[in-house]
Structure 1
Amino acid sequence: MSKIKELREEAKRLETEARSKLDAAGAEKDADKAAAFEAEFDSLMDRRDSLVKQADRLERSDEARREMEEIEERGAREARESRRPTAASDSFAPGAHADSDEYREAFRDMLAAGGDLSAIPQEARDMLRANFAKIDQRAQAGATGATGGFTVPTTLAREINIAMAAYGPMWDEDVATVMVTGDGAPIVLPKIDDTAGETAAHTEGNSLADDGSGDVTVTKEDLLAYTRATPWITWSFELAQDSGFSWEAILARLIAKRAGRKANTELTVGTGVGQPLGFMTASVEGKLAASNSALTFDEVIDLFHSVDPAYRMGPKVGFQMHDQTVKHVRKLKNANGDYIWSDGDVTRGVPPTLLGKPARFNQAMDQIGASKKPIAFGDFGEFYVRKVGSPMIGIAREKFFPNLGIAGVVRYDGGIGTPGAIKHLATPA
């Protein structure tokens, strides 16, 4: 039995056991015994959630590795044929060969040499220099000059992006609409809400109305390119030199877990001042709960229907909430005594649902409390995440000798395209 299947089956067993504890709590008349059953439920579900997350991480890693192997196998011959003969005077176009096996090996050689370009062949130096990306931070940070690093190989960039998505849903192209650009120039994001627009009856021979009632209001938002960098991370020179290790996977974990948390937080609750405008900050209040310590099934339904039906039909419609809010919502029942939360099928990777829509964990969101926004619902396809190129990596040698210092840099921004497409449930003070 594979490790992933074993984890998912154990999670399913714990889920069944936990559900029986909750049913027992509902049937128990003794308050102390009911509380004990509920505590057992919480403990079992926490263990179940941990197993599901382990299985999801392993599944993502396996999928990324399979995709990389397929890409490498399919593209190896074409990349070699398209590559021009290289000499010291060869001219490389910016970004040339970033998706080739040759560039991947040159990048690895540079790591193994501790970032010392003089220690690697001229051919590899030329390829790396052609993929050196400069970052001008003046527009957002007020700094002068420019900094930069080597663009990571396509295979590594893909693994970093997948690993970043594992630390929050907002970096995931299956959740939000992702746009990747080659540079950091501002992108104009037009905003139009025409859900109330409709046709009118027309009488033969009459002129069409020209009273301004059909005008469309268009606003816009500039998607910028905020630069975020990790702290220096110590990287063993033995790992850099040992080809037996999967250096792409190791680097992805080191860099992505730091960058992923920050990106998800800013794309969720960013203020829009010196950082991205998060979807929670830009969202509209859809329902004010009666209590700041508990939510009801009716309030979740009200939030659902506060979003226009036009935005409830897309492929990226769903709920987002903190894990502790999920724990609360899992215990809610409808009038028939049925739980409104569905855990899906963890053995098949089917996501949990709420009112028939996907429900995603987002640890950057509020927990239930006074003056909080614990649940969001809407079409997250209307939230645009702008990514600039691939992640970049910088190397420091002497500072960490004999090891290496690795730092990662990513650039992104985000914004809602249509006001009202995403709404939140708020709690009173």
Structure 2
Amino acid sequence: MTIDTEKTAPEIKAVPETVASAFDEFMEAFEAFREVNDQRLSEMERKLPPDALTVEKMERINRAVDEQKKLLDQLVLKKARPALGSGGGAAEPSEHKVAFDSYVRRGDEANLRDVEAKAYSGATGGDGGYLAPPETDAEVGRRLAAISPIRSLATVRQVSGAVLKKPFAPSGLTAGWVGETAARPQTNTPQLAELSFPTMELYAMPAATQALLDDAAVDIESWIAGEVETVFAEQEGAAFITGDGVTAPKGFLTEAKVADASWSWGSLGTISTGQAGGFKTSGPSDTLIDTIYALKAGHRQNASFVMNRKTQSVIRKFKDADGNYLWMPPAGPGQPASLMGFPVAEAEEMPDIAADAHAIAFGDFRAGYLVVDRVGLRILRDPYSAKPYVLFYTTRRVGGGVQNFEAIKLVKFSA
């Protein structure tokens, strides 16, 4: 068999200037991957040993597809961000916004202290600092939702206290049918339990030069939001998946797990692949089908897959009985890829495929996972610790945890 060795994996070109051009390059890479993978599968069907050059070329293209997708995601996010300059035609700034700007730029606390006193704010902690204007808090939340995969899927609640307590009935409410004139028997009193979602402190410490702070054209609030968005999103992304629930929100992978056939409330059901550290050689996609139909119909219609890029690169090779790829590229810039018709959320904090690893989650995360944000972003200006730079100790309180244990299923790579 002759292989065209001149046709190699598409190289990562110079960074595209537009989202459209990045999307075109991503689709070009995926088409090259599909062509080489079809060749590999054809060899296997003819009982031929996989050609080493074909396999190596396919893996190289697979990595190129991942890199192009990552670049496309970064460009889409960058396009969604507001400009750093304050711009013209903006609405008249609020008293809080003006006072906060004065505090950040020059360290003037008097006006900001008066604003908080008028608002009867008790949010200033013992370590100092002041609440950022609501616009800044909302902007940080909006940015986090755009880049934090679990936050973008989950239900998000804002609270003013330290803990959100949510009652629920483990066995559901008692109900029944009766005739129009029949007696209504008294139903049993439901047994209620309580889920608790404490908020934990998340912090970042961006630094600025005094020249930046003195530049009136720079929107300081957007600058702060831009500085903390990535580090906050990275910390949140890890906590919502693997957090211990002690110093960070409780991640769904740290909940109790049990084989789905023995599932009960308080644990997440798992579906095994049938092979330790991988998918079965024959019918590898059967596990994905079993996982999809392990969810109730009401949750299944709103469900998404969650996995990291390495796991996705393995699944990208799967086909159905008719030769159609199960993984499909995004329909357009800013949209997710899909697997068997369900969106795929990329979360790099998900574990790689390994023996007994829970590398894939599938579920209705809107119903299954709750993110709790305490209102208020607090900022402490520190011009002394790292002179000549000015540090901004920025804190935000965030909690999270599973709120519906039947809405999320996990794929376990075990026999």
Could you tell me which amino acid in structure 2 is paired with residue 10 of structure 1?
A: E
Alpha-carbon distance in structure 2 between the residues aligned to 1:240 and 1:205 = 75
Task: Give the structure 2 partner of residue 134 of structure 1.
Answer: 123
Alpha-carbon distance in structure 1 between the residues aligned to 2:329 and 2:64 = 14
Alpha-carbon distance in structure 2 between the residues aligned to 1:227 and 1:400 = 23
Among residues 136, 157, 177, which one is paired with 2:137 in the alignment? 157
Task: Give the structure 2 partner of residue 220 of structure 1.
Answer: 194
Among residues 93, 107, 116, which one is paired with 2:100 in the alignment? 107
Contact 2:77 2:147 in 1 (8 A): no
Task: Give the structure 2 partner of residue 177 of structure 1.
Answer: 155
Q: Alpha carbons of 1:249 and 1:19: their partners in 2 closer, same or farther (altered >3 Å)? A: farther
Among residues 300, 307, 310, which one is paired with 1:324 in the alignment? 310
> How far apart are residue 148 of structure 1 and its match?
4.5
Alpha-carbon distance in structure 2 between the residues aligned to 1:263 and 1:391 = 15
Contact 2:19 2:72 in 1 (8 A): no
**Divergent runs of 4+, >4 A:** 122-125, 128-133, 193-200, 202-212
Q: Which ranges of structure 1 fall in alignment gaps of 5 or more residues?
A: 77-99, 137-145
The answer to whether structure 1 residue 297 and structure 2 residue 285 are counterparts is yes
Alpha-carbon distance in structure 2 between the residues aligned to 1:261 and 1:221 = 26
User: What are the within-5 Å matches in structure 2 for residues 243-392 of structure 1?
Assistant: 243-282=216-255, 284-295=268-279, 296-314=284-302, 317-347=303-333, 349-382=334-367, 383-392=369-378
> How far apart are residue 320 of structure 1 and its match?
0.8
Q: Secondary structure at the match of 1:400?
A: coil
Tell me the TM-score normalized by structure 2. 0.80
Q: Alpha carbons of 1:36 and 1:123: their partners in 2 closer, same or farther (altered >3 Å)? A: closer
Q: Alpha carbons of 1:65 and 1:404: their partners in 2 closer, same or farther (altered >3 Å)? A: closer
The answer to whether structure 1 residue 426 and structure 2 residue 412 are counterparts is yes
Alpha-carbon distance in structure 2 between the residues aligned to 1:240 and 1:381 = 40
Contact 1:307 1:378 in 2 (8 A): yes
> How far apart are residue 35 of structure 1 and its match?
0.8
> How far apart are residue 412 of structure 1 and its match?
1.4
Q: Alpha carbons of 1:164 and 1:11: their partners in 2 closer, same or farther (altered >3 Å)? A: same
Alpha-carbon distance in structure 2 between the residues aligned to 1:19 and 1:188 = 49
Contact 1:378 1:421 in 2 (8 A): yes
Q: Which structure has more helix as a fraction of its residues?
A: 1
Task: Give the structure 2 partner of residue 32 of structure 1.
Answer: 52
Could you tell me which amino acid in structure 2 is paired with residue 191 of structure 1?
A: F
1:281-302 deviation per Cα after TM superposition (whole angstroms, max 9, x unaligned): 3351230121233222100111
Q: Secondary structure at the match of 1:389?
A: strand
Task: Give the structure 2 partner of residue 18 of structure 1.
Answer: 33
Could you tell me which amino acid in structure 2 is paired with residue 284 of structure 1?
A: L
> How far apart are residue 23 of structure 1 and its match?
2.2
Could you tell me which amino acid in structure 1 is paired with residue 29 of structure 2?
A: L
Tell me the TM-score normalized by structure 1. 0.78
Stretch deviating more after TM superposition (28-37 or 331-340):
28-37
Could you tell me which amino acid in structure 2 is paired with residue 160 of structure 1?
A: V
Q: Alpha carbons of 1:129 and 1:291: their partners in 2 closer, same or farther (altered >3 Å)? A: farther
Alpha-carbon distance in structure 2 between the residues aligned to 1:203 and 1:54 = 60
Could you tell me which amino acid in structure 2 is paired with residue 190 of structure 1?
A: P
- CA RMSD in angstroms comes to 3.1
User: What are the within-5 Å matches in structure 2 for residues 50-61 of structure 1?
Assistant: 50-61=70-81
Could you tell me which amino acid in structure 1 is paired with residue 157 of structure 2?
A: M
1:117-138 deviation per Cα after TM superposition (whole angstroms, max 9, x unaligned): 3xxxx545523665765366xx
Q: Which ranges of structure 2 fall in alignment gaps of 5 or more residues?
A: 1-15, 256-266
Could you tell me which amino acid in structure 2 is paired with residue 358 of structure 1?
A: P
Task: Give the structure 2 partner of residue 4 of structure 1.
Answer: 19
Q: Alpha carbons of 1:399 and 1:7: their partners in 2 closer, same or farther (altered >3 Å)? A: same
> How far apart are residue 409 of structure 1 and its match?
0.5
Contact 2:173 2:190 in 1 (8 A): no
> How far apart are residue 238 of structure 1 and its match?
1.1
The answer to whether structure 1 residue 411 and structure 2 residue 380 are counterparts is no
Contact 2:66 2:309 in 1 (8 A): no
Could you tell me which amino acid in structure 2 is paired with residue 157 of structure 1?
A: D
Contact 2:356 2:413 in 1 (8 A): yes
Stretch deviating more after TM superposition (319-328 or 42-51):
42-51
Task: Give the structure 2 partner of residue 143 of structure 1.
Answer: none
Contact 2:84 2:218 in 1 (8 A): no
Q: Secondary structure at the match of 1:147?
A: coil
> How far apart are residue 198 of structure 1 and its match?
7.2
Could you tell me which amino acid in structure 2 is paired with residue 289 of structure 1?
A: T
Contact 1:319 1:357 in 2 (8 A): yes
Alpha-carbon distance in structure 2 between the residues aligned to 1:19 and 1:400 = 52
Q: Secondary structure at the match of 1:419?
A: coil
